Amino acid sequence: MPFSVHTTHAAARWRLSAASAPLFLALLSLLLLGCGPRLVPFTHELRVQRDLSDSDVKNLQFYVSHPIALRRELTAESSQVTSSHKLLLVSGKVIEEVVVEERTPGVVVAARGGALSVSFEPGASLTFSAGPERFEPAPPAPSFPGFATPPDPFPGNAEPLLASPSAAGDGSGPGGNYWLAAGPGREIRYQGKVFSAIEDSLRAHLLIDADALEEVVERRTVLPGVRLPGR
């Protein structure tokens, strides 16, 4: 009989443990989220307000706000592919794809005026330029039931609509977020090759850990100088 009671108590403890497991996992997830960085957009105004030099900016940990996807079609003349990149077969075309996931960490390797070169992998960088929000998503293409169309290897390459300037800047000079910079036709040069930024890549801008930014500002000490007595 004691053995039976012991077994019943053990089974009850096991049921209680199994029932509390989801609650424990949920609390653990909240704890981990609370310990993560407090990310905020890094704007040119913030850089000026905090008087961050090029050296200061290079000592900050940045993150990207949106996924970035770059693609280029491979030809016989441009068949060399970086080992860390992917090859896709889309509509009979061989496509090289470079993907930077949302919130991927990066560091500034060069700063000039309103532009920052940010590296997300060794030996390569992407340029982010300060400015107001520039784009609105293009309207969806009309659908024609009954007609199959091959997948577009470069989705989102239609020119986006210009958006009205945001409050972060008026477009007359550096200001606002640091957005992923691209040339005409959404072209981006990466590792010496020309890629096309697809989908919502041009919505990507730089984020910063607000707490880490405070630490950098606090570490800077401005010396007041020393005057002669009576001066």
Q: What is the pLDDT of residue 16?
A: 52
Q: Cα Rg for the chain, rounded, in angstroms?
A: 26
By C-alpha distance, which of 178, 198, 199 is closest to 188? 198
Q: What is the pLDDT of residue 91?
A: 61
pLDDT in tens, the chain (231 residues): 454 445 555 555 555 555 566 666 656 555 555 566 789 999 999 999 999 999 999 999 999 999 999 999 887 555 555 555 666 666 667 888 999 999 999 999 999 989 999 999 999 999 999 998 765 454 444 444 444 445 666 665 554 433 333 333 333 456 799 999 999 999 999 999 999 999 999 999 999 998 888 877 666 667 778 888 877
Q: What is the pLDDT of residue 172?
A: 44
Cα→Cα distances 51→21, 74, 216, Å: 48, 44, 11
Any idea where the domains of the chain sit in the sequence?
A: 37-138+158-218
Q: What is the pLDDT of residue 138?
A: 45
Q: What is the pLDDT of residue 74?
A: 83
Cα→Cα distances 6→1, 3, 15, 20, 194, Å: 9, 5, 14, 21, 71
Q: What is the pLDDT of residue 131?
A: 92
Measure the CA angle with vertex 185, ends 182 and 186; round to 5°.
30
Q: What is the pLDDT of residue 132?
A: 87
Q: Does residue 170 contact residue 132 with C-beta atoms inside 8 Å? A: yes
